[in-house]
Chains A and B, each alone.
Chain A
Amino acid sequence: MKKNLRWKIILVVVVIGLCLYLSYPPGEKIHLGLDLKGGMHLVLQVLTDDAINIETDQAILRLQEQLKKEEINFENITKGRLGEIILTSFDQEKEGQLRKIIDEYFRDWDSSFSGNKVTLKIKPGVATYLREQSVRQALETLRNRIDELGLTEPTIQRQGIAGDRIIVELPGVDNPERVKEIIKTTALLEWRLVIAGPAPDKETLLQKYGGELPPDLEILPGDPKRTQGGYYLVQRVSPVVGKDLRNARRSIDEWNNPAVAFTLSPDAGKRFYKFTSDHIGEPLAVVLDGKVQQVATIEDRIRDSGIIRGRFTQEEAEDIALVLRAGPLPATIKYLEERTIGPSLGADSIRKGLRATIIALLLVMGFMIFYYRVSGINAVVALILNIIILMGALSYFKATLTLPGIAGIILTIGMAVDANVLIFERIREELATGKNVLSAVSSGFSRAFRTILDANITTIIAAIFLFQFGTGAVKGFAVTLIIGITASMFTAVFVSRIIFDVYLGKKKKIKKLSI
């Protein structure tokens, strides 16, 4: 045996050994996709416009405050298009002061004066930053919430680099509806002083104000599940907000009904203490995501802990505490896509996929041996090694095996023998021209190689584009196809050649090749 050949054999044995080691036992090493093991796949969109709107609202409040301080009269402040504030009919004699306010307090805004009207527009860079921040924060919050749920192996990813989409994959979810609710809740908790209410409609509340809503007040609906419904007139500002929460947990009130207990940060505790001291005897509303949950009279000063009652069920109290702990979402979240695959369907897919793979494998192997006789065995060995390498590579790259991925493996079986077929057909041609076996094999391999390379590279090009475009399951197909075809170049060209060399090397003067 030539020295060169021995090293090649060692290389092949090492590669195969490594792949077997990497992929054994396959049940543990191969990472299955959601379509095979069951679970939930969600695509969410963060409505980043919300972040701009919140910023605009805050800017309006700031502007009102400053105008009041500088005693600049004006008619109205309104929101224009997204990220736009319009101040109308201001006292033009004080334009200088107004400009100073804008220069000093509204650096993130572009202003344009025309007569007694000012339009403030949020700077594009700032808007982009706010959007980006809100997606990042949403990602962080979702991570916290899902961690709290205690699911195994969740993946939460942002789609694209600049995208506002988030993909959540949760294997083995038992109760999809609950999970969806927990993810979607904004969980913005506020406390607002109640001026009037509840009233059956908004008009009743505004009668006292001549139908016009004062700028520092707001009308909020009561959560129909927790209150009698209707509307409340409340103050616009909240002394503390959700992010001041230090902790929240499920608890019970004095009548043993489920409730949510909260603890505030020390700083917010001080603010809340002062606020409640100033307003003893007044009604205070607990507002979650813009809906009034509960209204109670402030009976005593509250420092940094308290409970929220709201006719919760056990599970609702648990879930609200969970989302409060994880923090509020900076913007509304919308579902774009949701797929739940039950575990039994996944198991069924694995069974059928495996069955199809084995049948395909047997058919192709049977054909190769039938058609190419002894040389066919060579192709069969190459094919088996190909699948071992494919499994090893899947484990090593921690690629996800999906049902289309199994289809990719099956297809690889069909296509991998192509290289062998090309080589064998070439060898037959060479033999037909009267060459002896050794040189026919040798030139068959070398002449077929270029063709194999060209043909396989084009398939890989298609698969790469498929990988680029595909989502989840389809990506799995592209991955197995790419790995399978690459591996076939190694097994069908390199390994098959070794097998021929060993076989022909033993029988020094071979006259006939079984092909």
Chain B
Amino acid sequence: MQIFKNPNFDFMKFKFFAFGLSAIIILVGLLNMTIGKGINYGIDFAGGTLIRVIFKNPVPIDTIRSLLNSQGLGKSRIQEVGATQQEYIIRTLQLTGEDIQDELEAHEIIGNKVVDTLRPSEDKTNLEAGLLDLNSIDVQDLTELLPPELENRENIAQQIIDYRRVKGIIKSFEDLSTSLNLPPEALTALKEKTFLGNLAILSRETVGPQVGHDLRRKATQATIWALIGMLIYIGLRFKFAYGISAILTLAHDVLVTVGIFSLTNRELNLPVIAAILTIVGYSLNDTIVIFDRIRDNLRILRKDPLVKIINTSINQTLSRTIITSGTTLLTVIALFLFGGEVINDFAFTMIIGVLAGTYSSIYQSCAYLYFWNTIFKPKKGLRK
């Protein structure tokens, strides 16, 4: 099977159209980032607290919002995970404290307040009555609380914790007891000394402002150095003109990806930067395959004009470009759909990046090469 049988498209004909299209996308992105709503920095870069909670029973997002509102925490961002109305990610409002020293602690206090607000009064009464929350207890305490007559109480405690680990939160004593086959005395002890908290904290992350500041600097540096590294490599393996064209293509991909990303409501966090840097490597991969073919064809088809050689080269490698982008796209889509909430932004960025990278390898990189050659007229042309 073959997608293209001897394709012969005139890609170079669309170079100005492609430039225009890219320019518009990049311009919209840049405008949005500068005078528009800006980049939505996540806690990795802006600092703040991110709390992920799970409820025992479904709680609608509006209830959570009004609860937080009533405590003056209305600016928190609330994101639902899945569609069960049980799991939420809450990012507390940003602080612009004068004293950076104490900002992390301030985040902490607000984080505690959020958890406290969401915890129903039923749980608080139970805690005050001296009961322990089975949904947050640790193994040692749980073991001690089981009747000592039970020979394998360490095992039982571990089983209960493992059960909780799989379920996220224990919903009822009956479910627990039937799935684990708990001995009746263990169940009695649990019912007597513990209660099932309505809320469990799945993760909690607090990042101080200094870390974000450093990270922004490091991310920019890493991206720039990666670009320089590639310029040098391609310059050595090919010619300077190819290196410059490749770097321009990469800059194009990064700008398009960041621009489109900024138009979504997603937060810029570390994994997104990782995705962008991967795009830098990946997009170059496509570009190099085409450049490699151009270099070959310049030797083989000496008499043809450059535009024709470029077109031939793109067409010859077209199947490969489409197939590899296709397989990579398949994998990142799988990651996007099935990989879970934590990695979702990464997968999304990769999808944009792969599409942008494929498009730019075909429509942008060679056009840059062509213009470099027409404007600067290097002595030996593009041959090495």
Q: Name A364's contact: one of B138, B215, B219, B331 (CB within 8 Å).
A: B331
Q: Does A344 contact B (CB under 8 A)?
A: yes
What CA separation (Å) do A417 and B350 show in the bound complex? 18
A392 to chain B, nearest CB (A): 21
Q: Name B327's contact: one of A43, A334, A414, A477 (CB within 8 Å).
A: A414
As a 0/1 sequence over residues 330 to 358 of chain A, the CB contacts with chain B under 8 angstroms (1 = contact) are: 00001111111111110111001101100
- Residue in chain B with minimal CB distance to A364: B327
A355 to chain B, nearest CB (A): 5
Q: Which one of A240-248, A285-293, A321-329, A447-455 is at the interface?
A: A447-455
Q: Does B229 contact A (CB under 8 A)?
A: yes
Q: Name B331's contact: one of A410, A464, A465 (CB within 8 Å).
A: A410
What CA separation (Å) do A465 and B330 show in the bound complex? 26
Give residues 78-126 of B contacting A (CB, 8 Å): 101, 104
Residues B343 and A407 in contact, CB atoms below 8 Å apart: yes
Also in contact, A470 and B274, with CB within 8 A (given A338-B205, A411-B332, A418-B327): yes
As a 0/1 sequence over residues 120 to 164 of chain A, the CB contacts with chain B under 8 angstroms (1 = contact) are: 000000000000000000000000000000000000000000000
Residues B331 and A353 in contact, CB atoms below 8 Å apart: no
Residues A413 and B331 in contact, CB atoms below 8 Å apart: yes
A368: chain B residues within 8 A (beta carbon): 327
Also in contact, A342 and B203, with CB within 8 A (given A349-B340, A458-B233, A460-B281): yes
Q: Name A340's contact: one of B204, B323, B329 (CB within 8 Å).
A: B204
Q: Does A462 contact B (CB under 8 A)?
A: yes
What CA separation (Å) do A457 and B238 show in the bound complex? 14
Residues B342 and A349 in contact, CB atoms below 8 Å apart: yes
- Residue in chain A with minimal CB distance to B2: A428
Residues A455 and B289 in contact, CB atoms below 8 Å apart: yes
Also in contact, A458 and B201, with CB within 8 A (given A336-B211, A410-B332, A469-B219): no
A335: chain B residues within 8 A (beta carbon): 104, 206, 208
B350: chain A residues within 8 A (beta carbon): 411
What CA separation (Å) do A460 and B281 show in the bound complex? 7
B31: chain A residues within 8 A (beta carbon): none
A474: chain B residues within 8 A (beta carbon): 270-271, 273-274
As a 0/1 sequence over residues 326 to 338 of chain B, the CB contacts with chain A under 8 angstroms (1 = contact) are: 1111111011011
B8: chain A residues within 8 A (beta carbon): none
Give residues 447-489 of A contacting B (CB, 8 Å): 450-451, 454-466, 468-471, 473-474, 477-478, 481
As a 0/1 sequence over residues 208 to 230 of chain B, the CB contacts with chain A under 8 angstroms (1 = contact) are: 10110001001101110110011
What CA separation (Å) do A438 and B209 show in the bound complex? 62
From B166, B200, B215, B323, name the one whose CB has the most chain A CB atoms within 10 angstroms.
B323
Q: Does B324 contact A (CB under 8 A)?
A: yes
Q: Does A394 contact B (CB under 8 A)?
A: no
A122 to chain B, nearest CB (A): 23
Residues B222 and A468 in contact, CB atoms below 8 Å apart: yes
Q: Does B319 contact A (CB under 8 A)?
A: yes
Q: Does B320 contact A (CB under 8 A)?
A: yes
What CA separation (Å) do A175 and B132 show in the bound complex? 14
- Residue in chain A with minimal CB distance to B229: A461
Residues B281 and A461 in contact, CB atoms below 8 Å apart: yes
Also in contact, A462 and B280, with CB within 8 A (given A339-B205, A344-B168): yes
A-B contact count (CB 8 A): 228
Residues A454 and B328 in contact, CB atoms below 8 Å apart: no
What CA separation (Å) do A43 and B44 show in the bound complex? 13
Q: Does B252 contact A (CB under 8 A)?
A: no
Q: Does B191 contact A (CB under 8 A)?
A: no
Residues B208 and A363 in contact, CB atoms below 8 Å apart: no
Q: Does A198 contact B (CB under 8 A)?
A: no
Residues B346 and A459 in contact, CB atoms below 8 Å apart: no
Q: Name B284's contact: one of A406, A417, A459 (CB within 8 Å).
A: A459
A483 to chain B, nearest CB (A): 14
As a 0/1 sequence over residues 303 to 345 of chain B, the CB contacts with chain A under 8 angstroms (1 = contact) are: 0000000000000110110011011111110110111101100
Also in contact, A342 and B270, with CB within 8 A (given A371-B323, A456-B285): no
Q: Does B299 contact A (CB under 8 A)?
A: no
- Residue in chain B with minimal CB distance to A41: B205
Q: Does A252 contact B (CB under 8 A)?
A: no
Q: Does B25 contact A (CB under 8 A)?
A: no
Residues B330 and A367 in contact, CB atoms below 8 Å apart: yes
Q: Does A258 contact B (CB under 8 A)?
A: no
- Residue in chain B with minimal CB distance to A363: B330
As a 0/1 sequence over residues 420 to 459 of chain A, the CB contacts with chain B under 8 angstroms (1 = contact) are: 0110010011000000000000000000001100111111
Q: Does A190 contact B (CB under 8 A)?
A: no
Q: Does A403 contact B (CB under 8 A)?
A: yes
What CA separation (Å) do A465 and B270 show in the bound complex? 14
A359: chain B residues within 8 A (beta carbon): 334, 338
Q: Does A370 contact B (CB under 8 A)?
A: yes
Q: Does B234 contact A (CB under 8 A)?
A: yes
- Residue in chain B with minimal CB distance to A457: B233
Also in contact, A454 and B278, with CB within 8 A (given A335-B208, A407-B346): no
B234: chain A residues within 8 A (beta carbon): 458
- Residue in chain A with minimal CB distance to B246: A458
- Residue in chain B with minimal CB distance to A450: B292
Q: Does A174 contact B (CB under 8 A)?
A: yes
Q: Name B138's contact: one of A174, A336, A344, A345 (CB within 8 Å).
A: A174
What CA separation (Å) do A451 and B325 show in the bound complex? 16
Residues A348 and B334 in contact, CB atoms below 8 Å apart: no
A473: chain B residues within 8 A (beta carbon): 270-271
Residues A355 and B285 in contact, CB atoms below 8 Å apart: no
Residues A465 and B206 in contact, CB atoms below 8 Å apart: no
Q: Name A360's contact: one of B202, B285, B335 (CB within 8 Å).
A: B335
What CA separation (Å) do A343 and B329 show in the bound complex? 31
Also in contact, A469 and B222, with CB within 8 A (given A367-B330, A403-B343, A455-B289): yes
Q: Does A298 contact B (CB under 8 A)?
A: no
Also in contact, A466 and B277, with CB within 8 A (given A345-B52, A404-B271): yes
What CA separation (Å) do A186 and B338 show in the bound complex? 46
Q: Name B237's contact: one of A43, A370, A454, A465 (CB within 8 Å).
A: A454
Residues B229 and A465 in contact, CB atoms below 8 Å apart: yes
As a 0/1 sequence over residues 397 to 420 of chain A, the CB contacts with chain B under 8 angstroms (1 = contact) are: 000000110110011011101100
Residues A342 and B202 in contact, CB atoms below 8 Å apart: yes
What CA separation (Å) do A85 and B167 show in the bound complex? 62
As a 0/1 sequence over residues 175 to 209 of chain B, the CB contacts with chain A under 8 angstroms (1 = contact) are: 00000000000000000000000001111111110
Q: Does A319 contact B (CB under 8 A)?
A: no
Residues B339 and A336 in contact, CB atoms below 8 Å apart: no
What CA separation (Å) do A413 and B339 show in the bound complex? 15
Residues B285 and A455 in contact, CB atoms below 8 Å apart: yes
Q: Does A223 contact B (CB under 8 A)?
A: no
Q: Does A84 contact B (CB under 8 A)?
A: no
* Given A337-B211, A421-B327, 9 other A-B residues pairs in contact with their CB atoms under 8 A: A338-B206, A344-B165, A349-B342, A356-B340, A367-B326, A411-B331, A458-B281, A462-B230, A462-B278
**Sample of 22 A–B contacts (CB below 8 Å):** A337-B211, A338-B104, A342-B201, A344-B200, A353-B343, A355-B339, A356-B339, A359-B338, A367-B326, A404-B274, A407-B339, A411-B332, A414-B328, A414-B332, A415-B285, A417-B324, A454-B237, A458-B281, A458-B288, A465-B226, A465-B229, A471-B215
- The residues of A with any CB-CB pair to B shorter than 8 Å are 35, 43, 45, 174-176, 334-345, 347-349, 352-353, 355-356, 359-360, 363-364, 367-368, 370-371, 373, 403-404, 406-407, 410-411, 413-415, 417-418, 421-422, 425, 428-429, 450-451, 454-466, 468-471, 473-474, 477-478, 481
Q: Which 7 A-B pairs have the closest CB atoms?
A: A462-B281, A174-B138, A352-B340, A469-B222, A414-B328, A459-B281, A414-B331
